[in-house]
A and B are shown apart, each in its own frame.
Chain A
Amino acid sequence: GQNIDQPTEMTATEGAIVQINCTYQTSGFNGLFWYQQHAGEAPTFLSYNVLDGLEEKGRFSSFLSRSKGYSYLLLKELQMKDSASYLCAAGSGNTGKLIFGQGTTLQVKP
């Protein structure tokens, strides 16, 4: 079956670092994606991991361990505008479809 788990809510302080974890169990896994979604808007792409290890892109980094079925998104130097929902999604099979987790709502406080 397909299963992707991530925490429902997180709270962090402006300027701090926050790590959002995601575990997945997906047939035909071919990559792990992170998206940011502000209320009322479409998801926007943040990062993609297909090999084990860390991918860094500015204030955002994403890590993948395929053997453990585990990924995390790391956000540094948090800003108020980072308050949003963060969606973990796994690529499944050769059709290109993505299976999404339930999303983590991050609230950044002053």
Chain B
Amino acid sequence: SAVISQKPSRDICQRGTSLTIQCQVDSQVTMMFWYRQQPGQSLTLIATANQGSEATYESGFVIDKFPISRPNLTFSTLTVSNMSPEDSSIYLCSGRQGLNTEAFFGQGTRLTVV
């Protein structure tokens, strides 16, 4: 499977600020997704990043809080806006080549909001 480079790997941010996380894939992928993982919890899907159009958000997540870009088939960004301590979590991007293939993940961004 392809390799995703995700950055930053970790950050400590002040409440009220915003952080943009980037994911770069080493080859074109059909599908990209963004997940959140709270400490000791499993992965919760935030949204599907659609190439050249607006992302599709899951229930409980909105574009104003988590704007997503996907300008091409190898790159996507997630912004966590107006952060609060409740946003402290690990954020992971994921890619898939097709419905019959596995999803692969970036190394994650560990975000702490103080």
Contacts and interface: CB of A to CB of B under 8 A. Distances in A.
Interface stretch (A55-63, A68-76, A90-98): A90-98
How many chain A residues sit at the interface, stated as a range, is: 20 to 34
B43 A96 contact: no
A45 B1 CA distance: 10
Interface string B36-47: 000001111100
B108 A42 contact: yes
B64 interface: no
A103 B44 CA distance: 12
Given A42-B108, A95-B31, A33 B99 contact: no
A96 B98 contact: yes
Contact of B45 (A42, A94, A98, A102): A98
Contact of A100 (B42, B56, B107): B42
Contacts of A41: 107
Given A42-B107, A45-B1, A97 B42 contact: no
Interface of A: 30-31, 33, 41-45, 48, 50, 87, 89, 91, 94-103
27 contacts: A30-B99, A33-B102, A42-B92, A42-B106, A43-B105, A44-B105, A45-B1, A45-B104, A50-B100, A87-B42, A87-B43, A95-B48, A95-B56, A96-B30, A96-B31, A96-B33, A96-B96, A96-B98, A96-B99, A97-B31, A97-B45, A98-B45, A100-B42, A100-B43, A101-B42, A102-B41, A102-B42
